[in-house]
């Protein structure tokens, strides 16, 4: 069977192919620019840097895959999904809601198709959508300074937004601070910015989240993940160029509060005072800002003045409106301060031009019908009543998931999420209880081998192993991530299958 990769357009195919043969995009100097150089094939590094595949019949041209292309293996999320489909497992790994896409948005897509809205749009995005996004941010984020449409670029989901943000900010010798654990799918964008997978270990600097007991609510006394500001402060170095945040956090569900955001801003301001000439950006992804629990408010990173001035804000409609397959997201640059001089305005315009240059070599523009649909979502559906329905729906599913976990072999070994729709489960005690012959038969020694070799093919339940989410592999090897964005029937089916897990365990002490 031929190997086929589907892309958004033929232009993307050619760009991906060429980029796989040349060095990664690299910003030059403080102002983001694109600079590509040819691979050093003439330096005798062909065999060291490439994997070579001969023709299946032993003849014909040899296909050479440069290292920068082959390091971007499919993420754990996608490979787990493929494995789940192959084995007919219930998938609690990928965070894709299985609720119906809202009818109002389907109607808009159909109307756009009938109106023949099939042309290229502006690289930065349709003006109507950028206006709708600015209005939405100003209404809901309580930003320190209001956003304008010119601050915003429409992207193919949050993933492209992050790719553009990080590759316009970070260079080959810079360091990036994030959390441990972190969202593994963004690692590929960091590899491009750093110039290779071998630099991730040295230049991505995660600070650990910590587990603390909840002090109130239905789950008081049970552990949840929280941001550790002192650990964050201790991670900064003279090479730090950017801080990457998720709020609510993927994968743990930790949520930043106002005092933590203020403290983070103070830490960054103080660091820059002590290190003249160093400027640290913050890239914040708030994909799950409308999915919070126990009355917890969302306090945006954009609401803290000391952070917004350095913030590239990433947003997507995917989780809020069940549109994960439509790939509609955005990024926003820091708003221009009132009374800013012409030099500041010109620098801001140059920044956006560079972002558009990156967008032009990835997807060029987002589809017109989907942008039109997003305008309707933001202007007509983004209401308090709609958000309340999200809270109720996912709140009920979280309760169902936690109730099932409390009666499963994982009982007492999971963290309660404050936001988002994932639960982190510590399977260390379960691995310890697996019968020796089971470990041997299925070659189980950590979370990854547990999920891939046993949980999916044998128990018929898919989860995301923590190995691809943690820098600390001792921690990652004992955690799995479960999603509860699926409907009740899916969650129930998964835990029916999980009942079989007990038959492979030694009796609890």
What separation in angstroms does the CA of 491 have from each of 99, 250, 320, 406? 13, 20, 20, 14
Cis, bond preceding 356 (omega within 30 deg of 0): no
Question: Distance (Å, rounded) from C-alpha 436 to C-alpha 135?
Answer: 59
Please tell me whether residue 29 adopts helix, strand or coil conformation.
Answer: coil
Q: Phi-psi region for residue 108, left (φ > 0), alpha (ψ -120 to 50) or beta? A: alpha
pLDDT the model gives residue 237: 97
- Cβ atoms of 506 and 429 within 8 Å: the answer is no
Question: What does the pLDDT look like over 449-501, one tens digit per residue?
Answer: 999 999 999 999 999 999 989 988 889 999 999 999 999 999 999 999 999 99
Question: What does the pLDDT look like over 307-328, one tens digit per residue?
Answer: 999 999 999 998 888 888 888 9
Please tell me whether residue 433 adopts helix, strand or coil conformation.
Answer: helix
Buried b / exposed e across 209-219, counting CB within 10 Å, b at 16+? beeeebeeeeb
DSSP state of 488: H
**Is 17's pLDDT higher than 60?**
no
Question: What does the pLDDT look like over 240-299, one tens digit per residue?
Answer: 999 999 999 999 999 999 999 999 999 999 999 999 999 999 999 999 999 999 999 999
Question: Distance (Å, rounded) from C-alpha 477 to C-alpha 470?
Answer: 8
Q: Which domains, and CATH codes, for the chain?
A: 10-70 (no CATH), 76-95+385-504 (3.90.1150.10), 103-382 (3.40.640.10)
Buried b / exposed e across 479-495, counting CB within 10 Å, b at 16+? bbbbbbbbeeebbeebb
Q: What are phi and psi of 85, to 5 degrees?
A: -65, -40
Question: Distance (Å, rounded) from C-alpha 92 to C-alpha 84?
Answer: 10
Q: In 158-297, at which residue ranges do the beta strands (DSSP E only) sit?
A: 175-180, 204-208, 210-213, 223-226, 240-246, 281-285
**What pLDDT band is residue 162 in, cutting at 50, 70 and 90?**
very high
Q: What are phi and psi of 490, to 5 degrees?
A: -65, -45
Question: Distance (Å, rounded) from C-alpha 13 to C-alpha 5?
Answer: 9
**What pLDDT band is residue 112 in, cutting at 50, 70 and 90?**
confident
Angle between helices 157-167 and 187-194 (to 10 degrees): 20
At CA 393, angle to CA 390 and CA 396, rounded to 5?
A: 140
Query: In 10 A of CB 445, how many CB atoms?
Result: 12
Question: What does the pLDDT look like over 49-58, one tens digit per residue?
Answer: 333 333 343 4
C-alpha 79: how far from chain center:
16
pLDDT the model gives residue 113: 83
From 288, 290, 285, select the one nearest 301 (Cα to Cα): 285
Structure tokens belonging to residue 366: 């987002």
């Amino acid at each position: 069977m031929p190997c086929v990769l589907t892309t958004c357009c033929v232009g993307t195919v050619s760009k991906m192919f060429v980029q796989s043969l040349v060095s990664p995009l690299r910003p030059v100097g403080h102002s983001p620019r694109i600079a590509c150089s040819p691979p050093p094939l003439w330096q005798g590094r062909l065999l060291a840097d490439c994997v070579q595949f001969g023709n299946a019949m032993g003849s014909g041209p040899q296909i050479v895959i440069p290292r920068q292309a082959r390091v971007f293996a499919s993420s754990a999320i996608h490979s787990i999904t493929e494995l789940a489909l192959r084995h007919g497992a219930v998938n609690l790994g990928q965070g894709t809601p299985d609720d119906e896409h809202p009818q109002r948005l389907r109607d808009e897509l159909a109307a756009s198709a009938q109106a023949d809205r099939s042309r290229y749009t502006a690289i930065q995005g349709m003006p109507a959508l950028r206006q709708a996004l600015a209005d939405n941010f100003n209404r809901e984020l309580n930003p320190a300074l209001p956003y304008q449409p010119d601050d915003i670029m429409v992207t193919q989901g949050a993933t492209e937004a992050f790719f553009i943000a990080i590759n316009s900010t970070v260079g080959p010798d810079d360091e990036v601070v994030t959390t441990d654990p972190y969202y593994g799918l963004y690692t590929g964008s960091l590899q491009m910015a750093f110039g290779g997978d071998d630099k991730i270990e040295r230049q991505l600097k995660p600070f650990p989240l910590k587990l603390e007991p909840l002090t109130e609510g239905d789950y008081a006394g049970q552990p949840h993940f929280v941001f550790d500001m002192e650990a964050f402060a201790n991670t900064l170095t003279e090479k730090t160029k950017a801080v990457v945040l998720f709020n609510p956090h993927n994968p743990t569900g930790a949520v930043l509060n106002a005092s933590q955001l203020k403290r983070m801003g103070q830490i960054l301001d103080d660091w820059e005072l002590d290190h003249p000439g160093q400027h640290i950006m913050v890239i914040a992804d708030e994909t799950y800002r409308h999915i919070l629990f126990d009355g917890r408010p969302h306090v945006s990173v954009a609401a803290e003045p000391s952070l917004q001035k350095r913030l590239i804000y990433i947003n997507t409609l995917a989780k809020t409106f069940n549109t994960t397959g439509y790939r509609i997201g955005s990024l926003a640059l820091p708003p221009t301060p009132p009374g800013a001089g012409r030099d500041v305005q010109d620098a801001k315009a140059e920044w956006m031009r560079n972002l558009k240059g990156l967008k032009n070599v990835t997807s060029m523009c987002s589809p017109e019908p989907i942008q039109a649909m997003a305008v309707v979502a933001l202007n007509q559906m983004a209401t308090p009543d709609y958000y309340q329905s999200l809270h109720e729906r996912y709140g009920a599913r979280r309760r169902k998931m936690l109730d099932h976990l409390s009666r499963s072999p994982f009982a007492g070994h999971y963290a309660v999420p404050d936001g988002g729709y994932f639960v982190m489960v510590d399977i260390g005690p379960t691995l310890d209880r697996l019968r020796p012959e089971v470990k041997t038969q299925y070659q189980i020694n950590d979370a990854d081998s547990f999920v891939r070799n046993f949980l999916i093919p044998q128990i018929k339940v898919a989860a995301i192993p923590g190995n691809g989410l943690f820098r600390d592999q001792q921690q990652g090897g004992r955690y799995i991530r479960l999603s509860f964005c699926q409907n009740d029937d899916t969650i129930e089916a998964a835990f029916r299958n999980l009942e079989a897990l007990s038959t492979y365990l030694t009796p609890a002490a």
